[in-house]
Structure formats: structure tokens, C-alpha cells
Amino acid sequence: MTIRTGTGTHARMEDSVLSQLSDDSLLEYIADLSQSQSQLDAADYTREQYFREKSARQQQQDRALQEENKQNGVPQIFGGCAVYINGYTKPGRLQLHETLVRHGGKFIHYLSSKRKATHIVATNMPLKKRKEFANYKVVTPEWIVESVKAGKLLPWQSFAHAWDDKQPKIAVTNCNDPNFLNNFFQNSRLHHLSNWKSNLRQNVLQLNDSFRVPKKKDSLTVFHIDFDCFFASVAALDFPNLDIDSDPIVVCHGTHNSDISSCNYAARKYGIKNGMWVSDAKGFLPQGVTLNCLPYNFEKIEAKSAEFYSILRKNDFIKFDEILPISIDESICVKISQSSETPNLRDICQNLRNEIYKSTNCTVSIGCSDTLIMSRLNLKRAKPKSSFILFHKDVDDTFLSNVKLSDIPGVGSSTISKINALNNQEPILENVLQLKKVINANKSFIGSMTATVGNKLTKKILLSLDGKDDDESLKMIYEPINFFERKSLSIDINWGIRFNSIHEVDAFIDICTKYLVEKLNELKKKTSQINLKLLKRAPNAPIEPEKYLGCGKCDSMNRNSKLGIPSNEFGFLTTEIKHNYRCVSCPPNELRGISIQFIKLVDVPSTKDDISKRFINFETFQNLPNDVKPGFVNELKKRKIQIKEPKVNKYQESFLNEIPTQLRNEIKKDLIINEKIKNSEIDRIYAKQVQRQNSLMNSKNHLLGNSNESIFESIKFQNETSFKKICSKIIAWVDFTVKDNGPHPKDLELFENYLDKLSDSNRVPLILRISKLISNELNLKSLKYSNENGFQIWEQQLIKTIIPKLMKNKHTFQTVRKLDLEFDL
DNA sequence: CGAGGCGCCCAG
DNA sequence: CATCGCTGGGCGCCTCG
């Protein structure tokens, strides 16, 4: 349909008004008019053009209103802002429109590509719209209301919706996407918790100067400070319409089988708990009550936490001797008691709580006492929005009756059910006082507890009944440096893991290893042991579990490598891990979770030590991360420190010159190690080979292709025995043909086919091993046979055929497994 | 009997 | 639409030398 309108329908501004427009407004007006005119010139109008024209007309009205207000001295705080209002808002559209225009803003009636809005105001928005507006500044209506109240333009970020990221949020849920890990971590609360925690612990180690570590004889006041339902409180700040005290609020990603990471106390009133699935939580609510599911706002959480810790470090009420991080939202603060003064703990707690609320808009609770365990139990008692102080000598039955078993640190669901089982489930122990009574009534109960839940934990529970600490817990206070030092480094991905091929698994292992190695380098550590833990779909579990992309019910399987020489080299480590994957029987499509652990971390020796020796070993230098090598080369030259080049013999030299540089260095390094091993074992190896040679004397020269059952046919993936057998045959073959006329062409052809198969199935490390075996073998024979035809054929074969196959799949092959050479075939 | 591997458990 | 089930450490049992 087309709408025809005559000319002159536009409400033109009076000339007198025109002269009062600012330059910008004038130009805009001219542009508007010009556009309308060009539409008029067209013969027909589309519906869209009609609306555009209508919009232009409305804008002229807006401009008139704006000028009027400007003349009356209304501050034009929204100058330069072009705002589009999406959907239903509170306050309503009309009101926002008027407020905006009066204060100098431009109201966008109609959102087209030609008229870009600078801001979009919305109270709520479906996901589809969110994606559409991902590149806009999407704010709540409060941005307008509050800015007018403040008399100035407030930063839109303060009113940004939680979903409004700088970069558009594109869901990456395919684990083969190179960005999957990044995206997953960005959205994983558990990853954030772990990551924040280790960062905080790292900070403690660096800031330890500002601490005053107590002595055992000191008497202490311990403050356990913790935000109330932190994630939920922070999330609610983005939704001013919600009341954190009365509306049930949870923080989660989804709507059904999504974990609730945090729920406020209004939600807990109905029995909702952290960790529940949303669908279950909804079932707890009576009819008519809705659950407010809010998105995570990790950035804001970090910001609030920083303010929190900053107040703990510096405030007007107390100077703590230790500020020990428990997590992003929780800290244990220790004050060494001075006999000269008796601080008013109640006031200190109250003041701290007020100060933190003033700064963060979130409430904390505080438990305070003279022992760790009591400060923790008091914290539980204080929650929410309160503080509680009770010293350990004042613990009585009334207090214990308010302490749940799960309140004791180290006691979780498994321990509780074990204890209840010991008590024959009758009655289920509701609180710690009941446990105490059971123990008092039955002297043998302690013995059975020790046998069931362990010695240490039993003692810890008994101590906590008296409000006293066990030694293990006190380490945090008395030996903080030791306590907070990192002893291992790992990555666990048990969500979204769905692979089809070993190549995909390899690529993912690369990404995980890269992540770990980066952290390793930040820590200036190397690892001396790698553990690979896999989750494999349990045989009876469905292919797709209830939870979207979850791991479901799984069996776990492990394999570890002790490295001999600690390493921080990406290539070496990733190859090792890929090798380990091949050693456990988990087909890629059954894989549901991957965990890689670097344990037994050791310090990277500082360069100072090397400099004092005026030279460094080639190996040492090679172990440096590649990106720092060039810098070090210059630095070393300046200081006239030499890199000890490894000795290579003539044969090795020519072999090495044929291969690309990166690879050459790796192999060179490898040769050094080989040399060492060889020197000690060379006699034994020679003896073995003579023996083997003798046993083969009766075979024909044509060794491999003389029957239908070539040895290469029998290779089964992950069947190591078989690979070893093949290696041993190859060695014998080389050994037997290195003199005289060399290997039979048909054998070579079969051999090459086999290598291609390995290459195609991404088993490059195996090719590497074979090539090293051959290289080694030739090396051993070079003195005796280097002029023989056979030797030279083999040498050609190695350099022209085998090495290129290695390079074909370079991405899986960065370096070699150094110490895994098997001379004992 | 100590060292170390493995697996469970727990916390945020 | 879903959904983002991490990660470091303690403890106890077992095995090995």
C-alpha cells in the first residue's frame, strides 16, 4: 500500500525559532528537511517512508519543546544523546520522552539504520533483542531519571544492563571453536571463584610485608567477614525494580537445569538453596510468587570485592594484623590483642558493616571471636545483615543447638550422612548439640566416627564442640606464606565436551596446555609431573544428559607422567598429554570431561645463577619460553655470557641441516640426552644387536612383504605393545640392511604406507619415535658402514621421506618426548 | 616405617 | 532457547622398598 501526501504537510519552524537553534541543531534540521523533501520528490510513498516522515514531524515538535525549555534555563544534560526507548518501561515511554527532550536529548521515534541511536533505554528485553542491540549502550530508565535528579549526565555504564557487554555476546558452545574455553571461563562462576581465589592468595604472598604474623602465644581476635548472598546482591543492583529483601532472587544462566549460584534470603525462606537447579527451585514457590532469575555480573562482583578488601585494609575503626582471603567475598581478619586496650568489638563490627555497605551497596555479616572456628560459627549465626560475637569459653548448649553439622568446616553432605548412618539414622541429627549428646551417651561413638569419617576430621569436630581450633586450621594464621603458596596448577573442563575425532581432542588439549603454560610462566615455575584425568560417559548413561551440554554420569580415568626434567615448554607438555590421552581407552565421542594437572611445581632457576657461571647450557637456554629467547640472546651477548653449544658428530650434523630450524633445535637437544644415555649403555646395546643380527641371519633380505600379513597391518590404535613390536622389527630391519645393498624397495613402500597412515591419523609422535630410532641406529653403525650403499639409502630415506612426514603435522608436534626413548627393545 | 600414588571429600 | 558441572588442598588407605 502506498500513501500519497501533498506537499506542505511538514510543520515548518518559524524563522524566529530557527535563528535560535544551535549550529548542530540547525544542520540536523536541514538534513531532516532534505530527507523529507527527497521523499516528497518520489512519486510513491511506502509505509516505511510514511513513518519516517511522521517521525521527522515529531522530531520537529520535540525540537520546539526543547528550545522552549532551553530558553527557560533547563539544563540540557542530554545534549548529543539520541535515545531509543524499547518496549514497556517504567516510568512510561511518554514521560521519558518528555523528560529527555526537555533536557536536551533527542528522542528516536523510529529505529532505522540511518538514524543511529546513541543509547537504548529498556526495562527488560528478550534475548533476541539483546543480541540485536549488542553494540548499543543499553541502559535502564533510571539513567534518565537519575541523571535529571543529579543535574548532569551520569555515566551510562552505571545503568547498563548486565547483559550489555562491550563485545556482542555470541554463544560459543561448541568445544571445537577456538574460543570455546575462553567463552566458557568467562561465564563459569566456578572458574571465576577459583581464579579469583588464587589471585587473592597470590596477592597475599606479595603483600606479606604489610602483615604482622601472630606468634602462638599471642591472643587473637578473629573477624570472619562475608557478603550476604553476594552474587544475588550484586546482580540485584542492576534491577532497581527488585527489592533484595523481599523479592525472591536467584542468579543463574538458564531457566531449567541451570545451577543457582546464589539466592537471596527471600528465596531461601521458601527452601531454595545455592546449587539447586532453577527448575527445582521454582517448585518450592507457592502459586503467584515468581522467581527472579538474574544474570551474572562478574565485572561488578570484582569491583565490589576490590572495594571490600580496600576497606578492610584501610578504615577508621581497626587496623588488622592479617587480612586473609577466603574468597572473592569473604575474608578472615586477625587482630593481635593488646592487653592495654579492650576494643569495643560490637562497634567495630557495626562500623565495618556500615562502611562496606556505604561503599558497595551490599551488606556483609561478621562473626567475631577469639578462635577461628568460633568466628566462623558466629558468622553463620549472624547471617544475614548482622554481626555476632561470642568467645569460645562462652559456648553453651543454647549456642550449639543453633549450629548445624554442616556449619563445621570440613563437614559436608557425605560426612553428615556417614555420621547419621553410625547413629542408625535415628533421629537424624539436626544440630551439633544433638551430636554432642549422642557422643556423651555412647562412649564408643567417637571410635566409630574415627573409623568412618577419619581421625583428623573426628578430632576437628570434637574440638569445634568446645569452640577450639585444630592445628591444621591455624596454619593459615601462623604460617600464612606456607599456607597460601601454590603447590599445583590445573584446569578442569567438564561442560560442553563433545568431540568426534582424536584431532579435535588434540586441538583442545593444545588450548588447555597453552592456558596452563601461560599461568606456569606467570608463576615462574616448571612442572615435574602431569596428570591427565578424563571423564568418560558411563556405559548406562544417556548420550546427552539432562543438563544441556553437561557431562552426566561418568567414569573417571587417569594417567600421569613424571617428567624427569621439570618443564614449562608448551610443545613438550602438550605432546606428553596427547600421548597420555592415547594411553587410556576413551574414544573421543565418549569423552565428557578433561582435567590436566601440573603437580610438583618447581621454581625456574633465576638467570642470576646462570650469569655467575659466565655461560649457560644450551639445554637451559632451550628451556626458556620461545618468546623471550631473542631478548635473552642480546642480553647474554652484552654480558659476554656464552651459550654452550651441544657437540654433534658429523653424521648428526648433516642430518640436522636438512630439517627446519625449530625442529632442529629440539632434536639437537634430544641428541644431547641420547648421547648421555648411549655412552653408558653402548656396550650392552652392541651386544644385543650382534645377537639380534645373528638370529636374523637365516631370514631373507626381503623381510616385510613376503607374506600377506605385513607387520604394519596389525597395528591397532592405542595398542602400545604392538607399536613396540613394530619398532623392534624396524630396528632389526635397519640393522640387517644397513650394509650391502640396503632395504628392499617393496619393504620401503610398505613402510612408507605405514608412516602415511600414522601421519593421517595424527599420530605424529609415533613417527618421530620411529625416525629417532632409525637415526640412532644409523648413528651406531656410522663408523662401520657409512660408506656402504645400504647406509646411504637409509640416510636418504630418513631425510627425504621420514622427516618431511613429521613436518606435515607440525601442529601436533612441537617437541619430543625426551626421556622416553626405549633402547631396551 | 616412611614415601608416595590414588581417590574421596570439601569449599567457595 | 538450553547453559557455562572449577580447582586447589587435606586426608586416609594402599603399596612399595
* Segment A54-65, tens digit of pLDDT: 777 888 888 888
Asked if pLDDT for residue A684 goes beyond 60, the answer is: no
Asked if pLDDT for residue A657 goes beyond 70, the answer is: no
Instruction: Please give the nucleotide, over all strands, whose C1' is closest to the CA of residue A275.
Output: C5
Q: Is strand C within 7 Å of residue A274 (CB)? A: no
Asked if A56 and A35 touch (Cβ cutoff 8 Å), the reply is yes
pLDDT digits (tens, 9 = 90+) for A141-152: 888 888 888 888
Q: Is strand B within 7 Å of residue A454 (CB)? A: no
Q: Summarize the confidence of residues A177-199 as an average pLDDT.
A: 98
Q: Is strand B within 7 Å of residue A538 (CB)? A: no
Q: Is strand C within 7 Å of residue A472 (CB)? A: yes
Q: Is strand B within 7 Å of residue A487 (CB)? A: no
Rounded to whole angstroms, the distance from the CA of residue A197 to the C1' of nucleotide C7 is: 10
**A483 pLDDT band (50/70/90 cuts)?**
very high
Q: Summarize the confidence of residues A666-676 as an average pLDDT.
A: 47
Nucleotides on strand C with an atom closer than 7 A to protein CB? 1-13
Asked if A292 and A186 touch (Cβ cutoff 8 Å), the reply is no
Instruction: Please give the nucleotide, over all strands, whose C1' is closest to the CA of residue A180.
Output: C4
pLDDT at A612: 42
Amino acid sitting at position A34: S
Q: Which residue has the higher pLDDT, A110 or A163?
A: A110
Helix locations, A207-297, DSSP H? 230-237, 265-268, 278-284
Nearest residue by alpha-carbon distance to C1' of B6:
A558
Nearest residue by alpha-carbon distance to C1' of C8:
A488
Asked if pLDDT for residue A693 goes beyond 50, the answer is: no
Rounded to whole angstroms, the distance from the CA of residue A457 to the C1' of nucleotide B8 is: 14
From residues 495-534 of A, list those within 7 angstroms of strand C by Cβ: 495-496
Q: Is strand B within 7 Å of residue A416 (CB)? A: yes
Q: What percent of chain A has pLDDT over 70?
A: 73
pLDDT at A625: 61
CA atoms within 13 A on the CB side of A461: 27
For chain A, what is the mean pLDDT? 81
Q: Is strand B within 7 Å of residue A617 (CB)? A: no
Q: How many residues are given for chain A?
A: 825
Residues 6 or more apart whose CB falls under 8 angstroms from that of A103 comprise A69, A74, A75, A76, A77, A78, A147, A148
Q: Is strand B within 7 Å of residue A488 (CB)? A: no
Which stretch, A575-584, A690-699, A744-753, has highest mean pLDDT?
A: A575-584
pLDDT at A753: 76
Rounded to whole angstroms, the distance from the CA of residue A524 to the C1' of nucleotide B12 is: 27
Q: Summarize the confidence of residues A49-55 as an average pLDDT.
A: 71
Q: Is strand B within 7 Å of residue A810 (CB)? A: no
pLDDT at A163: 58
| Least confident range of A85-89, A222-226, A710-714 | A710-714
Asked if A405 and A458 touch (Cβ cutoff 8 Å), the reply is no
- For A188, A223, A251, A515, A636, the CA distances from A304, given in Å and listed in that order, are 18, 19, 16, 27, 45
From residues 71-110 of A, list those within 7 angstroms of strand C by Cβ: none
Q: Summarize the confidence of residues A225-254 as an average pLDDT.
A: 97
pLDDT at A597: 98
CA proximity to A100, closest of A86, A83, A88, A115: A83
Instruction: Please give the nucleotide, over all strands, whose C1' is closest to the CA of residue A601.
Output: C8
pLDDT digits (tens, 9 = 90+) for A282-296: 999 999 999 999 999
Rounded to whole angstroms, the distance from the CA of residue A194 to the C1' of nucleotide B10 is: 14
Helix/strand/coil for A118: coil
pLDDT digits (tens, 9 = 90+) for A426-481: 789 999 999 999 999 999 999 999 999 999 999 999 999 999 999 999 999 999 99
Rounded to whole angstroms, the distance from the CA of residue A704 to the C1' of nucleotide C17 is: 44
The model's pTM is 0.61
Asked if A634 and A615 touch (Cβ cutoff 8 Å), the reply is no
pLDDT at A468: 98
Helices vs strands, H then E, count in chain A: 33, 18
pLDDT at A595: 98
Helix/strand/coil for A599: strand
Helix/strand/coil for A6: coil
Nearest residue by alpha-carbon distance to C1' of B11:
A410
Q: Which residue has the higher pLDDT, A643 or A670?
A: A643
- For A193, A390, A415, A457, the CA distances from A399, given in Å and listed in that order, are 31, 9, 22, 21
pLDDT at A823: 23
